[in-house]
Structure 1
Amino acid sequence: MKKEISMFDRPEQLAGYEIEQYAACCGNLSWYDFVTSMPQLVFVVTGWKSNGKENACLHSWSSFMGSGLENFICILGKVNKDGHMYQSLKETKACVLNFPSIDRYDRCVKTIGNNQFETDEITASGLTVEKAAKVHAPQIKECFLNIECEYLWEQALFEGSNEVAIAVRAVNICMDSDYYDQTKLGRYGKKGYMYYIDQPTNPETGDITPVGPGTIEAGKPIEWVTK
Structure 2
Amino acid sequence: MKKEVSMFDRPEKLAGYDIEQYVAFCGNLSWYDFVTSIPQSVFVVTGWKSNGKENACLHSWSSFMGSGLDNFICVLGKVDKGGHMYQSLKETGVCVLNFPSKKIYDRCIKTIGNNQFETDEITASGLTAEKALKVNAPQIKECFLNIECEYLWEQELFAGSKEVVIAVRAVNISMDNEYSDQTKLGRYGKNGYLYYIDQPTNPETGEITTTINYGTVEPGEPL
- What TM bracket, shorter-length normalisation? over 0.9
Spell out, residue by residue over 1:98-132, the C-alpha distance to the aligned partner (whole angstroms, 9 max, x if none): 00001100000000000000000000000001100
Spell out, residue by residue over 1:80-99, the C-alpha distance to the aligned partner (whole angstroms, 9 max, x if none): 00000000000000000000
Which aligned runs of 4 or more in structure 1 are off by greater than 2 angstroms? none
How big is the shift at 1:212? Answer: 2.1
Q: Any unmatched runs of 5+ in structure 1?
A: 223-227
Q: Could you tell me the percent identity over the aligned residues?
A: 82
- The root-mean-square deviation of aligned C-alpha atoms, in Å, is 0.5
Three-state SS of the structure 2 residue aligned to 1:171 is strand
Q: Any unmatched runs of 5+ in structure 2?
A: none
Three-state SS of the structure 2 residue aligned to 1:161 is coil
1:216 aligns with 2:217: yes
1:20 aligns with 2:26: no
Partner in structure 2 of residue 79 of structure 1: 79
Partner in structure 2 of residue 225 of structure 1: none
Spell out, residue by residue over 1:40-97, the C-alpha distance to the aligned partner (whole angstroms, 9 max, x if none): 0000000000000000000000000000110000000000000000000000000000
Distance in 1 of aligned mates of 2:37 and 2:103:
23
How big is the shift at 1:211? Answer: 1.3
Q: Give the AA of the match of 2:164.
A: V
Distance in 1 of aligned mates of 2:43 and 2:218:
18
Distance in 1 of aligned mates of 2:212 and 2:84:
29
Answer whether contact 2:16 2:207 (CA < 8 A) is retained. Answer: no
Three-state SS of the structure 1 residue aligned to 2:150 is strand
Three-state SS of the structure 2 residue aligned to 1:89 is helix
Distance in 1 of aligned mates of 2:167 and 2:127:
26
* TM-score normalised to structure 1 length: 0.97
1:140-219 equivalences in 2 (<5 Å): 140-208=140-208, 209-219=210-220
Three-state SS of the structure 2 residue aligned to 1:88 is helix
How big is the shift at 1:16? Answer: 1.2
Distance in 1 of aligned mates of 2:200 and 2:184:
32
Spell out, residue by residue over 1:177-196, the C-alpha distance to the aligned partner (whole angstroms, 9 max, x if none): 11010000000010000000
Three-state SS of the structure 2 residue aligned to 1:108 is helix
Q: Give the AA of the match of 2:152.
A: L
Count of residues in Structure 1 that have an aligned counterpart in Structure 2: 222
Distance in 2 of aligned mates of 1:210 and 1:143:
25
Three-state SS of the structure 2 residue aligned to 1:63 is strand
Spell out, residue by residue over 1:150-204, the C-alpha distance to the aligned partner (whole angstroms, 9 max, x if none): 0000000000001000000000000001101000000001000000001000100
Partner in structure 2 of residue 60 of structure 1: 60
